[in-house]
Each structure stands twice: as structure tokens, then as C-alpha cells.
Amino acid sequence: MLHPTLLLLIVGTVVFGFLLRQRMKTRPSLLLPPGPPALPLIGNVLDIPSNGAPGFHDLCQKYGDIVHLNIAGKSMIILGSQQAASELLDKRSLNYSDRPPPYGGNFFNQTAVLNYATDQRLEAHRLVMRLVDKPEAFLDHIGHMFGSSIMRVVYGLEVDEEPVDYLKMAEETMAIFSETLLPGKYIIEFLQFLRYLPSWVPGAAVKSKGPAWRQVVWRLVEEPWKFVMTSMREGAVRPSMAASLMADVPQSYGENTDVSEEEELFRSTSATAYAVFFLAMVTHPQALQKAQAELDTVVGSYRLPDFEDMKSLPYIRALMKELFRWRVSGPLGFPHCAVEDDEYRGYRIPKGAILVANIWAVSRDPNVYPDPDVFMPERFLKDGELNPDVRDPATFAFGYGRRICPGRHYVASMLFIVVTTVLHTLSITAPLDKDGNPVHLEGKMMPGLVASRNRHPEPFECVIKPRSEEAIALVRRALETS
């Protein structure tokens, strides 16, 4: 009779051989994209770079522009070039989005944003007056301006007239999204059994944050919708996206509506773009001077810029493109999920894989944008006009496919009226040191709560003054008649 240990060894060998044979039979003919070697159980969790997009770029430099990471058994694929991101997330978008597009696309498309011109113009004029009254708080004014504009358009809210601090609620919600959106940030995403363990177990601690996070996000969903529903019942509703939706759906719609990650990032991305604008003007005064010279020639000193001037301001449009490219606010786009197995360049992309586009790397491709760290609007111009042969940052700065930012056209038109109005009426310069010389600013960006997302400029100072009393008088008259 065989010894039990020997019998166990024989049985184990037979079972192992059977499983190995079955695996060899079912192994796909296509290989996964290249990537760093994975460790048992945790895979490439330790290979996720702490510095976010630049670290992922380093991986792409080593393994190619499509890199596979095994995150505790879950496939994560980094797309490090515009070609890879566009071919997969744009051209095959149906396979890389497991959620329908948000309602925002219906209200913020290129035609629809024309309806918001009056509101955008009003906010730009209000911003100028706030900058004149309290220039040192320019970053606060920027956040208030865009948040106020969005709350009016989406919900019909005048935030300065309401007892609820909606802007603070939006900021808190954005902080939560920033904390949670990077795949691999929390191992509980991939090791599902951690959901059922106490929060003190390593890897499960994030569970303790969940209830508080849900309360914050749900409040931002619930409070504005309550305002709109109450206004509709009382017959005092203001025109807004929410009012239009509620006219077509049951009153309970708002109770089941989630805050879209794309729409929430819309707020954050936009506020960052304005902060980057002030940073660029302080650190690159020659660009400011060229833009103001173009405005002086086209607009003149007897009126304020308007949307109809856009076609006549090629340098301003080039400057806006460079703002979106120079300091992207979301270096890694929203994660996409493969709905079905796919093949790309001979590699297998498995169903359920998470795909992340490295927008930071795309914005810094030296083959497309020479000297990418330099703020240079001229890179988009040829013979005084926009050069169509240079890649438009709009093709990547707002994301890809069905998860593209729904408010990108609104952001662009709002940025245009703000940039032109501010530059036409105000001067923006660097502060002076004790010797009377301009203070040198590095122009660095700080990460959000997650190193890869929602970057914003490091705190900096600038001197903001009216270009002339006549220019400010134009703004005052515009506000009086609005």
C-alpha cells in the first residue's frame, strides 16, 4: 500500500498536470501588451508610480506606448500616445465605455453653448470688477466665477442669493472624485473580498470613508434638484438644464440622478484653465503683450471684446490652445473599461480591462510640440493664421470617446470671453522684489489629492491693475445695462 504522503504527491502531480494542460489548451493565441514583471497575488501594484502621469510615461518609454499592468489580477492598460488613445477610445468607443453618455452633451454641444453667451459675458464682466476691487484674491474670484456660471446654467441658481453654499459642496465633491478615480489607488477595487472585512484590515481602510463620501456627493445631487422642483411647483423656475429635463421626465427623476464624474471634472478642469492663464501671463509677458496688441487693433478702445471677434483674433485662439496644452489639469483621462475582448497591434485587450490615456504625455510629445515645456502660442500659427497641421489640444485635453468632457465647448467659449475681456481691460504682471526686479516664478503645478489628477498651479502672486479708467468704465456700463 502506498504511503499517504506519496499518494498525495502523485495525486497532486496528476491534478497539476491536468490543470496545466487545460490552461495550455485555452490560452489565447494573442499575448497581452508588454509591461513590467508581476509579483504573485498583488501583480504590479508596486509598479504604479507615485508621481502619476510622468511615471506612467517612463513605463511607456521603456515598454512602448501601450503598457499592461496586472493589478491584483485585474488588467490595467496605459495608453501613452495620441495614436493609441484615439484609435481605441475614440474609434472603438462603443467597446471602451460601459456607461451611456451623460445628459450634458445635449446641452453643451457646439450649437447649444450659443444660448449661454449672455451669462458668460456677464460673468466675465463681474470677474473684471472683482479683480479691480480685490486683485490679490484672483484665484478665489476665478473659482467663484466659473462655479456661479455653471450653477446658473445647470440649475438656474444665483449662488450669491442662496443660503446654501453650493460652490463649497461642488468643491468637496470634486475632491472626493480626485481621491478615488485613479485605478489602483485602493487595492480593495481589485481584491473584492476586502469589502467584507473590517476597515482596520490593511487595504480595507477606505471603507470607513465611504459613508461620509456618499453623504457629500448625494447632497450635491439632492439640494440643487430640490431647488428646481420647488421653483417649478411655485411657478418661479428660471431657465436651466435641470428645468428642461424635469419638463420631460417624472418629478422623481432628480431622486435617482448621479453626479457624473465627467460633469464634475468639467468644473475642476475649467477653473484650472483660468489659473493657468494668469500663470502664463505672469511668466510669459511677451505673450500677454502680443495678445493685448491684437485686441487693441481688432476691438479698439471704445468697446469690449465679444464672441463675434473670435475669427479675427488668431493669436488669442492660439494662446487658448496653448493654455490647454501647456498645463493639462487632468494628466490621466477618465478610466475606460473594455466591454468585450479586443485586439490591437497584435495584442489582446481582455474584457474588463481598465484603459487609461496618459494625456500629460500626449501634450508633451516633442515630435508634435517642440520644446513642450515652453509656453509658446506661436506653435499653432503659420503666416498669422491658425495652422491646421498642428494637433489641436482639444483632441486630448478633454478626454476621449464616450467619456469625453461634455462641457468642452462651453469651457472653450467661456475661456475666450474671459481671456479677451481680462486682457483688454487689465494688466497682469509679476510682483517686484526689494530691488524693483520682477520676481521669478517657476510656474510649477501641484497635484490634486491624487498625484495624477486635477493638477493646479502652485500658489503664486501677480499684480493686477486696470489698463485705463476708460476700460473699466466700459465694464461698469455693460454691467449696468445687463
Residue 259, all three cell numbers: 453626479
- The Cβ of residue 257 has, within 10 Å, a number of other Cβ atoms equal to 15
DSSP string, 83-125: HHHIIIIITTGGGG-SSPPPTHHHHSSTTGGGGGHHHHHHHHH
Check if the beta carbon of residue 209 is closer than 8 Å to that of residue 481: no
Sign of CA dihedral 418, 420, 425, 431: positive
Percentages (nearest 5) of helix, strand, coil residues in the chain: 55, 10, 35
Check if the beta carbon of residue 199 is closer than 8 Å to that of residue 207: yes
Check if the beta carbon of residue 471 is closer than 8 Å to that of residue 425: yes
Q: What is the DSSP letter of 399?
A: -
Nearest in space to 95 (alpha carbons), one of 354, 332, 342, 333: 342
Residue 319, phi then psi, degrees to nearest 5: -60, -40
In this structure, the dihedral spanned by the alpha carbons of residues 115, 120, 123 and 127, taken in order and rounded to 10 degrees, is -170
Residue type at position 307: F
Q: Is 173 exposed, middle or buried (0-12, 13-18, 19+ CB in 10 A)?
A: buried
- The Cβ of residue 216 has, within 10 Å, a number of other Cβ atoms equal to 13
CA-CA distance, 465 to 431, in Å (whole number)? 12
CA-CA distance, 80 to 77, in Å (whole number)? 10
CA angle 132, 136, 139 (to 5 degrees): 100
The response to whether 337 counts as a known ligand-binding position is no
Check if the beta carbon of residue 276 is closer than 8 Å to that of residue 457: yes
Strand partners, 354: 76, 337
**Known binding-site residue numbers for heme:** 405
**Known binding-site residue numbers:** 405
